[in-house]
Amino acid sequence: MATQNLRRVFVWQLPVRFYHWLNALCIVVLCVTGYVIARPPAFQQGAEASYAYWFGINRFLHFAASYIFLFNFIFRLYWGFVGNRYAGWKNFIPTNRKFFQEMWEVIKIDIFLQKDKEHLSIGHNALAGFIYFFVFLAFAVQCLTGFGLYAAMSDWWLPNLFIWVPGLFGGDFDLRQIHHATMWFFIVFSIIHVYLVFYHDYVEGRGETSSIIGGWKFIEEEAFVKEMEEEEKEKEELKRKVMQEKQKA
């Protein structure tokens, strides 16, 4: 067996990694405290109500985490425009045929497990990117419904920006239902997300798991060169097109 040369690529910039872990922490806190809000456990205690406040603290944690979640989410949207090529919004929204072709590749190879094949991508693969697009939508839904429910309790202008949300649904009933159901989307997503990280690490051995800590991924030299050549080709194609346009004009 020939050993392969692996090339180190800096994929996840520090702000992306920071965002990722803060986001993960927020989601864990929000899911746990949110579930407790929806279904408080029956703690029996002898103390008078004036000496106890655990449910209030639980709600406070939920609201505090939700503010951090919101700002972190807004920051990530911003970073989608200024970050490196692996952080840009084009990783998440299909803009060309190649995106769809890669998605199909990934479905064949990684979901339906084509025999002994691997799909090598440096940043997000196309399917993952596209699914993250829906995850961002879910973030938006949680922020809208959550702050929509919270707005009436607050005098601050920021949550009050969301005061129109309950009106869309006629009241808080449906908002709560949506907010609660979307929590399950996060839980299911997290299970799959963690599994797939392990899967890629196991099958490809390229530092998938540690990439979100250090920021580096490793890719086979050949694959890297191939990617570079493709990139060059695309650039030249673009140049040629621009030149043609110029000549026409």
Partner 1 sequence: MTPSSNRPTYYEELRQKGYSRRDFMKFCTTFAAYMGLQASGAAQVAEALKSNSRVPVIWMHFQECTCCSESFIRSSHPIVADVILDKISLDYTETLMAAAGHQAEAAMHKTMEDFPGEYVLCVEGSVPVYEDGVYCCIGGRSAVDILQETAAGAKAIIGWGSCACNGCVQAAKPNPTGATPIHKLVKGKPIIKVPGCPPIGEVMAGVLVHLVTFGRIPELDRIGRPKAFYSKRVHDTCYRRPFYDAGLFVESFDDENAKKGYCLYKVGCRGPMTYNACGVTKWNNGTSFPIQSGHGCIGCSEEDFWDNGPFYRRLTNFPGFGIESNADKIGGVAAGVTAAGIAAHAIGTNLRKKKLIDGLIAEGIESDQALS
**195 binding partner 1? (CB under 8 A):** yes
- State residue 218 phi and psi, 5-degree precision: -120, 140
**205 binding partner 1? (CB under 8 A):** yes
Of the residues 106, 176, 207, 224, which one makes contact with partner 1 according to CB under 8 A: 176
**210 binding partner 1? (CB under 8 A):** no
Of the residues 81, 116, 245, 248, which one makes contact with partner 1 according to CB under 8 A: 116
**157 binding partner 1? (CB under 8 A):** no
Q: For the CB of residue 74, give the shortest distance to partner 1 in the complex, in Å.
A: 24
Q: Which among 22-30, 72-80, 125-133, 188-196 is the span making contact with partner 1, rule CB under 8 A?
A: 188-196
SS (H, E, C) the chain: CCCCCEEEEECCCHHHHHHHHHHHHHHHHHHHHHHHHHCCCCCCCCCCHHHCCHHHHHHHHHHHHHHHHHHHHHHHHHHHHHCCCCCCHHHCCCCCHHHHHHHHHHHHHHHCCCCCCCCCCCCCCHHHHHHHHHHHHHHHHHHHHHHHHHHCCCCCHHHHCCCCHHHHHCCHHHHHHHHHHHHHHHHHHHHHHHHHHHHHHHHHCCCHHHHHHHCEEEEEHHHHHHHHHHHHHHHHHHHHHHHHHHHHC
**114 binding partner 1? (CB under 8 A):** yes
**113 binding partner 1? (CB under 8 A):** yes
**173 binding partner 1? (CB under 8 A):** yes
Sites for partner 1 among residues 18-57 (CB under 8 A): 38-40, 42-43, 45, 47, 49-56
**137 binding partner 1? (CB under 8 A):** no
Interface with partner 1 (CB under 8 A): 1, 3-4, 38-40, 42-43, 45, 47, 49-56, 58-59, 111, 113-116, 118, 152-153, 163-164, 166-167, 169-174, 176-177, 180-181, 183-184, 187-188, 191-192, 195, 199, 202-205
